[in-house]
Structure 1
Amino acid sequence: MAKIIGGLGTSHVPSIGVALDKGLTETPDWKPFFSGYDEGKRWVKEARPDVAVVIFNDHGNSFFLDRVPTFAVGVADRYNPADEGWGPRNIPPFEGATDLAWHLVDLMVERHFDPLVCREIDVDHGFQVPMELFFGRPETWPVKVIPIWVNTIQFPIPTPQRCWELGIVLRNAIESFPGDDRVVIMGTGGLSHQLQGTRAGYINREADLAWLEGIANDPERYRQMSREDYVEMFGSEGAELIMWLVMRAALQPKVDLVHKHYHAPASMTGAGMVILENAA
């Protein structure tokens, strides 16, 4: 059967892609952020995943506010970088893990989820940036991918508990899939930030640092929080962190926190990452 080799949690701030495109990774503003991902790239290289499942949210590029699915899963052969208003970025397209994706969709429906199934769709910075942070900029990506979209844009967004339940279905799907694929789960979004209203520019460093520890060792706390709790603690856009719960639930109850990294601000955002492995 296929095997989950670990979980990665990471921010997907769009300005990270801009910094990569403009060669700003070694500048004083950006070097502290990018240097923290050196360990992530090393881990991925040594772990040798065959498939990356990326949980992220669209930002009005493939879905607009007139049609926002709560959960969507890509089953396409190929995913192109989305044009977010200034042309597609110069990175290679992503090859889909179609057989595993269909297996996941079928099990989701069996477990009473009703995902939107996407046979042709582009992926925006929410997907692109995490892949670049861990895999660099290869001529072709070394893994096949399964994109999973979660609505964190327009209320009502899913509850933390529902995201956790999705992670359990994801684990079951991978562990019941024939073959020897090595799968890494990537939960993306956050950390704390708010882009509008009276709290525009809000960053909660204390809550961010607690999250990086707690998602590994005390996920129950975050699973039991309400959606309103997330907005209050992490900001309106910081509620994206519910997507890390999908990744965490796909792992075993006990995990090892291999590495964590935090930097703020990255643009108007608290940004960071974790590497998690199932405990021996």
Structure 2
Amino acid sequence: MAHIVGGIFTSHVPAIGGAIARGLQEDPYWKPFFDGFHPIHRWLAAARPDVAVLFYNDHGLNFFLDTMPTFAVGAAAEYHNADEGWGLPVMKPFPGAEALSWHIIEHLVASEFDITTCQKMAVDHALTVPLALSWPGADNRPVRIVPIALNTVQHPLPSPSRCLALGRAVHDALASWPGAERIVIFGTGGLSHQLDGERAGFINKDYDRFCLDHLGPEPEALVAHSAVDIVELAGSQGIEILNWIAARGALGPDVREVSRNYHIPISNTAAATMLLETPATLSKAA
């Protein structure tokens, strides 16, 4: 049977990818953020996942304002990275877990989620940066991936409760998958930030810490706010917390926090990292 080993939640700021490309991990500006990944590297070495299911948001590489699906699931054999204009190196393709993708898609449709199925899908920094942070080395491809893109750009946005329900439906799909894969869940983006308008540079430390404190033990607390509430609390781009909420749902009901890191600022963003482990992982390690 497939086994969900845990979840990694992290910011995906493109500037992080630039810092990786320039080898700035020990630079005083960047070091507090990169240091948060040392326990994740140790955990991944022990957990040995085969597949990563990633909840993230596309930044115009696949979808733009004229065509914006609420939820889109990749069902490709591989996923190509492309130049987004940030000056980041274009990474080689990521292998897809194609059969598992279709299993998830079929389960989501049967669960009455109207999703967009993408048999060809490019992946941007929201996916490539978290993978590069987790497995350093540009050519490191230890996992096959299932990308799940959420709309965090075009209103009307999905509600936080619907995103949590999406994640829980993905959890049910993974629980019914007969393969023996070890699966890690990713939620990427945020935390609070706004890149434009009158509130450009806005960061809300209190809301960020609220999210970090409640994500593991009480994700329902995060869905008490509407999507518009979250924009007010976290900034227009801080709505990316929807990706974290969906990923938390995919982990299942019981988790244990292994590590967290919170650092301000990274490119006008409240950067955060959290690692949650499932009880089954604990029992296997014991």
Which bin holds the TM-score, normalised by the shorter protein? over 0.9
1:46-72 superposed Cα distances (whole Å, 9 cap, x missing partner): 110010001100111211111011000
Aligned AA for 1:148? I
| TM-score of the aligned structures, taking structure 1 as reference length | 0.96
Q: Report deviation, 1:40.
A: 1.1
**2-structure distance, mates of 1:132, 1:260:** 18
Alpha-carbon distance change, 45 to 138 in structure 1, aligned in 2, over 3 angstroms:
farther
**1-structure distance, mates of 2:20, 2:100:** 31
1:98-128 superposed Cα distances (whole Å, 9 cap, x missing partner): 0000000001110111111111121000000
1:187-220 superposed Cα distances (whole Å, 9 cap, x missing partner): 1110000111111100111221221121012211
1:120-139 superposed Cα distances (whole Å, 9 cap, x missing partner): 12100000011111111252
Aligned AA for 2:47? A
In the alignment, which residue of structure 2 is the partner of 1:193?
A: 193
**2-structure distance, mates of 1:253, 1:64:** 34
**2-structure distance, mates of 1:141, 1:245:** 26
In the alignment, which residue of structure 2 is the partner of 1:202?
A: 202
Alignment coverage as a number of residue pairs: 280
Q: Report deviation, 1:140.
A: 3.8
In the alignment, which residue of structure 2 is the partner of 1:238?
A: 238
CA contact (8 A) 2:201 2:268 kept: yes
- Gaps spanning 5+ residues in structure 1: where? none
In the alignment, which residue of structure 1 is the partner of 2:217?
A: 217
CA contact (8 A) 1:252 1:279 kept: no
Q: Report deviation, 1:165.
A: 0.8
Alpha-carbon distance change, 87 to 75 in structure 1, aligned in 2, over 3 angstroms:
farther
Q: Report deviation, 1:85.
A: 2.3
| SS of aligned partner of 1:230 | helix
CA contact (8 A) 1:91 1:137 kept: no
| SS of aligned partner of 1:168 | helix
CA contact (8 A) 2:17 2:88 kept: no
CA contact (8 A) 1:190 1:237 kept: yes
- Gaps spanning 5+ residues in structure 2: where? 281-286
**2-structure distance, mates of 1:192, 1:134:** 22
**2-structure distance, mates of 1:203, 1:139:** 34
Q: Report deviation, 1:90.
A: 4.1
CA contact (8 A) 1:212 1:273 kept: no
In the alignment, which residue of structure 2 is the partner of 1:89?
A: 89
**1-structure distance, mates of 2:110, 2:213:** 33
Alpha-carbon distance change, 123 to 9 in structure 1, aligned in 2, over 3 angstroms:
same
Aligned AA for 1:163? C
In the alignment, which residue of structure 2 is the partner of 1:11?
A: 11
In the alignment, which residue of structure 1 is the partner of 2:66?
A: 66
| SS of aligned partner of 2:152 | coil
In the alignment, which residue of structure 2 is the partner of 1:152?
A: 152
**2-structure distance, mates of 1:159, 1:118:** 22
**Aligned sequence identity (%):** 48
1:204-250 superposed Cα distances (whole Å, 9 cap, x missing partner): 11221221121012211112211111111111100110111111111
Note if 1:126 corresponds to 2:126. yes
Deviates more, 1:268-277 or 1:22-31: 22-31
In the alignment, which residue of structure 2 is the partner of 1:54?
A: 54
Alpha-carbon distance change, 198 to 87 in structure 1, aligned in 2, over 3 angstroms:
closer
Note if 1:29 corresponds to 2:40. no
Q: Report deviation, 1:262.
A: 0.6
CA contact (8 A) 1:92 1:140 kept: no
**2-structure distance, mates of 1:193, 1:273:** 15
Q: Report deviation, 1:253.
A: 2.1
